[in-house]
Amino acid sequence: MWCDIVYIRFALVFLGLNVIARDLLEPITYLGDARQTPYCHHEKWDGSGYPQNLRGDATPLYARIFAVVDAYDALTSDRPYRKAWPQANAIEYTKQESGKHFDPAAEAFLTMLREGSASDGIAG
């Protein structure tokens, strides 16, 4: 019973927000393909994401880029339920999930992060 309640809440909150965001952005035509970003950024490269279980290049490019950046930000930020991960751990996680959760091109984000943060002592 408890699992059913959690699943229903998940579906209403998370899947519902994706649809609401997509519908709100749809009439803003100058955003072009970027309008699909909030709807598709929970898709995974291996097809195990949601809401459409898209695989690989079927997920719009903007959503694939946002997925990496959003996950990295979530991991390296404090949350009410956990402390932020150290940047080195988030970088390692992103490497490990490249080609599974994230587009294999996620390495480009890590390269940009290393180059932009070299003076901060971030290694990757």
List pLDDT tens digits, range 59-113: 999 999 999 999 999 999 999 999 999 999 999 999 999 999 999 999 999 999 8
- Is it the case that residue 8 has pLDDT exceeding 70? no
Q: Is residue 24 part of a domain?
A: yes
CA 10 – CA 19 distance, rounded (Å)? 13
Tell me if 62 sits within 8 A of 117, measured CB to CB: no
Q: What is the pLDDT of residues 35-59, one digit of tens each?
A: 999 899 999 999 999 889 999 999 9
pLDDT for the residue 5: 54
Question: Residue 117: pLDDT above 70?
Answer: no
Decide if 67 contacts 11 (C-beta within 8 A): no
Residue 49 counted as domain residue: yes
Residue 124 domain-assigned (yes or no): no
The count of domains in the chain is 1
- The domain of 9 spans 2-118
SS3 9: helix
**Residue 76: phi, psi to the nearest 5?**
-95, 10
pLDDT recorded at residue 65: 95
Predicted TM-score (pTM) of the model is 0.77
In a domain, 8, yes or no: yes
Q: Which long-range contacts (CB under 8 A, 24 or more apart) does 104-108 make?
A: 104/45, 105/64, 106/68
pLDDT confidence of residue 12? 54
